[in-house]
Structure 1
């Protein structure tokens, strides 16, 4: 996924994608040494510092390993790739159990903030209303996969901040408030990770992400919470259910 309109991506992104593509396509196999920094710098007409910046994310992702005095070697081509089916919304913990991956989440922030216009609209709140923000990083197989910001009406769920947040917030709705999520509205867009997301994902480049706005509703379609989520674009793909092609005369 590339989000660079009318221009080529920066050199370090070009190098990163080229090396990563060579590994994923099997042209560089586990145990192979990747081209040296001088060779890559010459190939892409760049500096060795730019090459180093391109290779660093591959080291963090566990695909390559630097060996003192020997070079950089491929150690894995196994990047976790998950499919999210938008026609069958499911909680992250349940999804990970289905595919057999270890998982956990870390709470980064839990606080009360003023609701902006978007949250007011999604949660049917009046101007000046406050919401609880629970910001989390969700991990699969030890890797940060999703950054999730969950919002709840402070007036309705103020007790949530006193509860055990090692339990996923939507589960707290059921366990502690006796409320079941029955319906989900979803909006999907493509974005790049900002500085905050880059830090939490452990990368220093604008990682392409899939941005999911998830509105949890009760059986009457009344909103209970909003989750704004950055899914790693290099680890997730979204499945859209098949539909009949709309004919021109029906538009």
Structure 2
């Protein structure tokens, strides 16, 4: 099954940005031009562009169009820290609750994030990272099963996914988007916070030797766990 049309348009624009066909500050094709190119409605194009704006790839100016965002300010995000080490350095005891670790087929959204076809095999993990038994971060991660076939056999109460990834496939490139959000009811329950608690959500995709291997959503209650320069990674 092919990805939804708006996801195809979104990926097309992303490919143009990553290949540097569009540089920071460049204007991308208009909604009308994209509608004509993909033979879709303006609503479909608008949805793709809205997501790119929300994820930090584009800036939109009424009456002027959509422009590639300057992401150089995110360079400080490239320092990777293992959350278990961070917690230990603060004098607390690290522990993890593995809520889910399973092999499944990629749906449309995950397929786009990992650059895979819909239905491709992936691993999906959901882990609560804790300090002295208190939840600090909820990590949801999707991994290309072809790149890391052993991921589903790991005991992530003994080592974090970050440590496993660094040992199995040293990372060569990263992409980050940070946003302020409110947790869903399920996320709030796992983090033991109210649904109106402000949280930081870090989207992170990682590559090894040019291959995209992992996409993670790292959710932390802002009042409980402040990411130092946004560099912590589970």
Residue 235 of structure 1, CA deviation: 1.7
Partner of 2:148: 157
Q: How is 1:174-213 mapped onto 2 (pairs within 5 angstroms)?
A: 174-175=166-167, 178-213=168-203
User: Of 91, 95, 101, which aligns to 1:100?
Assistant: 91
Q: Distance in 1 between matches of 2:208 and 2:91?
A: 29
Matching of residues 226-241 of structure 1 within 5 Å: 226-238=215-227
Q: Tell whether the 8 Å contact from 1:194 to 1:206 is kept in structure 2 after alignment.
A: no
Contact persistence 2:205–2:214 (CA under 8 A) = yes
CA drift at 1:239 = 5.5
Give, in whole Å, the separation in 2 of the partners of 1:101 and 1:183: 31
Aligned mates of 1:109, 1:225 — CA distance in 2: 16
1:128 maps to: 119
CA distance in 1, matches of 2:201, 2:95: 20
Per-residue deviation at 1:87?
Answer: 5.0
State which structure, 1 or 2, has the greater radius of gyration over its C-alpha atoms.
1
Equivalent pair of 1:148/1:228 in contact (CA under 8 Å): yes
Deviation at 1:149, TM superposition (A): 0.6
Gaps of 5+ in 2: 1-75
CA shift at 1:227, angstroms? 1.1
- 2:160 aligns to what? 168
Structure 1 residues 210 and 224, CA, compared in 2 at 3 Å: closer, same or farther?
same
SS at match of 2:81: coil
**What corresponds to 2:66 in structure 1?**
none
RMSD: 2.3
Deviations 1:40-80 (A, max 9, x none): xxxxxxxxxxxxxxxxxxxxxxxxxxxxxxxxxxxxxxxxx
How far apart are the structure 2 equivalents of 1:240 and 1:216?
Answer: 19
User: Structure 1 residues 238 and 93, CA, compared in 2 at 3 Å: closer, same or farther?
Assistant: closer
Q: Which runs of structure 1 show a deviation greater than 4 angstroms over 4 or more consecutive aligned residues?
A: 238-241
Q: 3-state DSSP class of the match of 1:181?
A: coil
TM-score (norm 2): 0.58
Distance 2:207 2:139 in 1: 18
Contact 1:93 1:103 in 2 (8 A): yes
Change (3 A) 1:87 1:239: farther
Structure 1 alignment gaps of length 5 or more:
1-84, 242-251
* 1:216 counterpart residue number: 206
Q: Deviation per CA, 1:90-146, whole angstroms, max 9, x where unpaired?
A: 221122233333211110111123323332222221122131111100012321011
Aligned to 1:237, the other structure's residue is in SS state coil
Structure 1: distance between partners of 2:173 and 2:81:
11
Q: 1:188-220 CA deviation, whole Å, 9 max, x = no partner?
A: 111111110111122344221111111122254
Determine helix, strand or coil for the equivalent of 1:161: helix
Distance 1:151 1:139 in 2: 20
Alpha-carbon shift at residue 181 of structure 1 (Å) = 2.0
Distance between the aligned counterparts of 2:172 and 2:82, measured in 1?
13
- Number of residue pairs matched by the alignment: 154
